[in-house]
Amino acid sequence: MKAEQLFDVNGHVAFVTGAASGLGLAMAEVMADNGAHVVMTDINPDTLTEHRQRLADGGGSVETIELDVSDLAALRTAIDGVAATHGRLDAIFANAGISAGPGYQTDAGQINAVDQAKWDEVLHINLSSVFTTIQTAAAHMKRQKSGRIVVTSSIAGLKAEQMVGYAYAATKAAVINLVRQAAMELAPFNVSINAIAPGPFYTNIGNGRLSDPAVAKAFSDVVPMGRIADTSELQGLALMLGSPAASFITGTVIPIDGGSTAG
C-alpha cells in the first residue's frame, strides 16, 4: 500500500487541545497539511487566529475555538459541538498541559517544597482534562465505531526525571495507564488510543525554560542524541497515530526522545 493511502486523513475531522504552540501546533499542522479539517483549541485566541490564517493560506481547512481545558464543562461542550456540526470525530489529540515547575535538583522542586495549590492545578489540567477529553470523544467514536485518540504523555511518565516537577511526573504516568485502560474498552469499537511520550522538545511549557542556555544544556546532556528536538520531529508519529496507518495499534506508549529511554 502506498504511503498516501496508509496515512490518508483527507476529509477527516481532527480536534487538538493546546494547539496554539509547541507540540499541539505541530499536530494541528501535520493533520491540516495532509487534508484533515482541524479544530485548533487553546486559551490564546490571538495566536490561534494567526496560525489559522497561516494554515488556511497554505490550503488547510482549519477552525479555532478559544478553550481553557481546566473548564471541563466547556471542554465537553466544545468536543460535542464539533462532532454535532461535522457529523463525525475522527481523531482527537489530548495535548494541552502545564509544567509543575523545576525538579528535585533544585530546592524549589524538592518534595517538601511542593505547593498544594500547584499540585492540584497540574493534576486538574494534565490528568482530569485529559480524562474528560477521552471520555467525551469516546462517546462519539463508539457510536460511529471508529476513531483515533492520541494523548501527550512524557518520558517523565515512564522513568524518574530529576528536571521536572513531581506533579508533572505523576500526571504523565497516570495518563499512560488511563490510555491502557481505555484501550481495552474501546478496542471492540474500532477506536484506538495511544500515548506519545516526548523527551525534551523546544516548546513554551514551563514558561519556555528551554530558552535558557543552561537549562537547555542540562536537558541535552541526558539525551543520547545530544540535543533537544524541534516540534516538527513529532509530526510523523502524530500523523501515523491519527491515521489509518495505526489501525492495529492501541494501548501503547511511544517514546520520541532521542534515545533517552533506551538505556
Of the CATH numbers 3.40.50.720, 3.30.420.40, 2.40.50.140, 3.40.50.2020, which one belongs to the domain with range 3-256?
3.40.50.720
Question: Does residue 85 have a pLDDT over 80?
Answer: yes
Q: Which of 104, 166, 168, 202 is catalytic?
A: 168
Q: What is the pTM of this model?
A: 0.95
The whole-number average pLDDT for the span 51-67 is: 97
The whole-number average pLDDT for the span 76-95 is: 98
Question: Does residue 20 have a pLDDT over 80?
Answer: yes
pLDDT tens-digit series, residues 92-127: 999 999 999 999 989 999 999 999 999 999 999 999
Residue-wise over 23-62: b if at least 16 C-beta within 10 A, else e? bbbbbbbbbbbbbbbbbbbbbeeebbeebbeebeeeebbb
What percent of the chain has pLDDT above 90? 88
pLDDT tens-digit series, residues 179-238: 999 999 999 999 999 999 999 998 876 556 667 787 788 888 889 999 999 999 999 999
CA gap 151, 158 in Å, rounded: 14
CA gap 145, 147 in Å, rounded: 7
pLDDT value for 205: 67
Query: Is residue 202 annotated as a catalytic residue, yes or no?
Result: no
